Each structure stands twice: as structure tokens, then as C-alpha cells.
Amino acid sequence: MKFCLLASGSRGNAVWVEEGGLALLVDCGLSAKEFKVRAALAGLDVGKLAAIMISHEHRDHISGVGPLARALGLTVIANAATHEAASQIIGLTVCEKIRTGDSMNLGPLKIRTIPISHDAVDPVSFLIESDAGALGLATDMGTPTGLMRQKFLGLRALILEFNHDYRLLMDGPYPWPLKQRVRSRIGHLANDAAAELAAELHHRDLRHLVLAHLSETNNRPDLAAKAAREALNEAIEPVVASQHAPTIVFEF
């Protein structure tokens, strides 16, 4: 399996997942034009894309979904509540609904959605499996759920939210209600909580750990990486995803 984060953060998210000539996009908060530029930069073949899955209806995850799906003839896959909540922004597309907690097959990929704790109608994380192993993808959550902890055991790759440094958030410029929202159980995951979860999920066959959805205001890549390294006793070198450029194409 190959994967690449084309953008990650509150100004746009898109994760490419590819196996056996077929590709899936998880979220698209980039314009269709910017998506194509970044896919080309990363050396990805847009012709392989079959579908876009949506994690939740926040704009940084769906603003580009409609135009891209219409331009490339892609199916949009999400649960019914998210479809409904996202429909005004996305517009008309070919839709396929998946029940949260169920799994579906897309070519060689088996995709399961797992509910997460965030302030959206029915937000999910993803467990994406193939014969090569499993990728776990979880951003935009205030706190990890027990089910996610259980399903994410034995991963080959983990993309995990490292949203903010608690001190930077509390001392930073956000108004108090927004600070409270970010750090709440339905907000975003802090570096220390994310590092603790990464350490819990780490095992000797975990090949890639990607730190994602960093706040540009309340975090710094070096702080997120330091938190991960310390919690994991440097057992794996984390890669920090960026808002502005694609990551490398990871493979396992």
C-alpha cells in the first residue's frame, strides 16, 4: 500500500491511499486545481482515483470534494448524516453511503469507518487494509475512543492528529471559547495525548508514523515530533505532515 498526505491542517486536508493500481482519497479540503498540482508534485497518477471518502463535514475536509468529484467522475463515500450535512458545500455528486462502523471493499482495499469524538454530525476515523497490512487514519478528535484504540492495534502505518501544544494553545491568541472548544472532548488532540496514544499503538512492525493536522497557531513541527519521540523512546522516527506541501509517498 502507498499513501501520501497532500495537505494536512485546518486550511485543507487530503490523504491519498493507493493499492494495486487503484487509489482512494480521504477528504479533499484543497481546490481541485491545487489538488492536481500537489498530486503531480508527489508523482501520483490522478487517473487511478476511484472515490473520495469523507471523514466529517468541516470545510477543511470537504471544500474541494464536489468540484474534484465532478471533474474526475469520482464517487463520494460517506455516512448519511455527513452526506446530508456536507451536501450544500459539495453539491451534486455520485454518492455511496456507508454506515459508521461497517466496512466496505474498494478493489483491493477494505475500508472500515470508526466513530470518533469531534464536533461534527457523525465524524469517523479510518482503518484501511489490504494484503500488505493496515493503515490507521485519525485526525479531528478531542479524545481517542476505546473502539479506535482496539481497531488500531497491529497497524503498519498510523496517521494521527497532533493538533496543538497545550501551553501554546492556552498562551496563544485564540479567544477563550475557541480555546475551550479545541481542548474539549469533541475538539482536537493535543501533542501529549497523541504521543501517549502513538506509544500505546506502537509495535515492532509499525513502519510509518505521520503526525497530522498540526495547528499553525498553536503548535510547531519540532514540538510535535519531540513529544512523539519521547513517548516512543525513539522507537520510530515520526514524519510531520504539512499544510503547504505533500509528504513523501509512504509504502509498506
Interacting residue ranges for Zn ion, rule: CB under 5 A: 58, 60, 140
117 exposure class (CB count in 10 Å sphere: 0-12, 13-18, 19+): middle
Q: What is the smallest separation between the CB atom of 145 and Zn ion, expressed in angstroms?
A: 16
Alpha carbon 69 to chain centroid, angstroms: 19
Q: CA-CA distance, 224 to 72, in Å (whole number)? A: 35
Q: What is the smallest separation between the CB atom of 85 and Zn ion, expressed in angstroms?
A: 12
Q: What is the smallest separation between the CB atom of 82 and Zn ion, expressed in angstroms?
A: 11
Q: What is the smallest separation between the CB atom of 6 and Zn ion, expressed in angstroms?
A: 14
Closer Cβ to Zn ion, 158 or 206, answer by number:
158
Q: CA-CA distance, 95 to 8, in Å (whole number)? A: 24
Closer Cβ to Zn ion, 30 or 236, answer by number:
30
Q: What is the smallest separation between the CB atom of 153 and Zn ion, expressed in angstroms?
A: 25
What lies within 8 Å, CB to CB, of 13 at 6+ separation is: 5, 7, 27, 28, 29, 60, 61, 139, 212, 213
Closer Cβ to Zn ion, 58 or 151, answer by number:
58
Closer Cβ to Zn ion, 18 or 60, answer by number:
60
Alpha carbon 184 to chain centroid, angstroms: 19
Closer Cβ to Zn ion, 58 or 179, answer by number:
58
Q: What are the C-alpha distances in Å from 34 to residues 29, 129, 187, 233? A: 10, 28, 27, 37
